[in-house]
Amino acid sequence: MAACYAHWVEGKTWSESGYLDAMLERIKNKGPEDGCSNKQDILRRCQKLDRLFEETQKQRCLKRQSELRILSFRERGGIYMSIDGRGNLVKTGGGNHRLLIAQILGLEQIPVQVGIVHIDGIDAFLQLRKERGERIRLGGEKADTLGLSGETPTGGISNQR
């Protein structure tokens, strides 16, 4: 993510940021990464990420996955977060580029797919949903929209696993 930050905030090219070399190294060591198998794929991905950044900057919001894909389900492919036992949002899955874009642009709300909710965090999760304006009922098919800069009842967004 440091390379993406260097590109979008510091104005470095994708190559100068180290993103291309890092992706090529990961592909060499682990195989295809983020749908990329070679440098050309990586360059296409960079263009796609730049379009996402520019569109989000222009619209001042991240689109829900259902706006991007006809057959999306509960924000799959978007930002994945869980709720820990203290009611904190914890980044636990995909959507890293989307989350970074939202943070760079200072977005106040983002669509997320809520994954695991620790049993001790259920009350905090329900309170968070109530405070943010419930978009769906539990078990619904649309994504929750949670505040990015806002605090959960007992804390903020955590990147701990």
pLDDT single digits (tens) 65-92: 667 766 655 566 678 889 999 988 888 8
Report, as an integer, the average pLDDT of 32-41: 96
Query: Rounded distance, CA 104 to CA 160, Å?
Result: 20
More confident residue, 51 or 81: 51
70 and 50, same structural domain? no
Q: How confident is the model at residue 59 (pLDDT cuts 50, 70, 90)?
A: very high
Residue 34, Cβ neighbours under 10 Å: how many?
15
**What tokens were used for 16?**
């100068």
Residues whose CB is less than 8 angstroms from the CB of residue 86 and which lie 6 or more positions away in sequence, other chains included: 120, 121, 124, 154, 155
Enter the pTM of the model: 0.74
The answer to whether residue 159 is domain-embedded is: no
Domain, as residue range, for 126? 65-147
For 117-136, what is the mean pLDDT?
Answer: 77
Domain count, the chain: 2
Indicate the average pLDDT of the chain: 80
